[in-house]
Amino acid sequence: MGIDILKRNNVRVTGQGEKTIMFGHGFGCDQQVWNSTIKDFEVDYRVVTFDYIGSGNSDKAAYSKERYSTLDGYKQDLLDVCDGLEIKEMIFVGHSVSAMIGMLASIERPELMDKMIMIGPSPYYMNEPGYTGGFERSDIDELLDMMETNYMEWAKYLAPVVMQNEDRPQLAEDFEQLLCSNDPLIARQFAEVTFTSDLRDKLDQVTVPTLILQPKFDAIAPLEVGQYVHDHIKDSQMIIMEAVGHNPHLSDSGETVKYIKAYLEK
């Protein structure tokens, strides 16, 4: 089973340390987004990256609309990879929706994680009275409709919104290419699950020591959301980064690495 899972999720293991650090990618991405980050950990850690089913070079034949109709399906991907590698304790770094997937895994099996690092997390993307998620329901519906009618135009629109850093347009261009490499139908369902899931009631169930890395300006998961996560995960720590945009591991990998390493050395 282990070998099948590793192939299914395109699992890659590098590094030479005894302790395992695993990196989980966000929506619309795959494990390539960690290439500039993981090299800084390979001397001291066994580094694990993977693709959720439907993303990157995972086995897309294993995709099921039923299994992946909630984030629990992606949580199970993560747990399957851990079991396939016989991981007992690890550090988990999750970006965006992967922070929430990692959170669900940590609640189900807290013994798997020593520490958890969330980059740009959001438990709920929509505004409600007393809660700033960043989007109105109509905004989400428009994005989902655009994905259905013209996926390439959707990617072209979304990439600069996500990346920011207008003075470095190559970042948005590269991210647009990454979005365009996805299967549009699978990406559409993953987007709906990501942007409509409400996990706010799960935050206070986290028992794993947690660091939240929050870019100082993020159009997808604004500062108010990062603060909400911090306020509701007991004993969590939050750092507001100098980086802007939703993907600091792509735009500012040096700063991202610095804060992760500092947290792990405590």
Catalytic residue (one of 55, 246, 251, 252): 246
User: Please, where are the H alpha helices in 116-232?
Assistant: 137-149, 151-163, 169-180, 184-196, 223-232
Strands (E), 7-97: 12-15, 20-24, 46-49, 90-95
User: Rounded distance, CA 24 to CA 177, Å?
Assistant: 20
The answer to whether 225 and 122 are in contact (CB under 8 A) is: yes
User: Rounded distance, CA 29 to CA 182, Å?
Assistant: 8
Query: Three-state DSSP class for 139?
Result: helix
Question: For the chain, what percentages of helix, strand and coil (3-state, to nearest 5) are there?
Answer: 50, 15, 35
User: Rounded distance, CA 15 to CA 209, Å?
Assistant: 24
Active site residue 96: yes
Catalytic residue (one of 218, 249, 251, 252): 218
Catalytic residue (one of 55, 96, 122, 236): 96
Active site residue 246: yes
**Which residues carry out catalysis?**
96, 218, 246
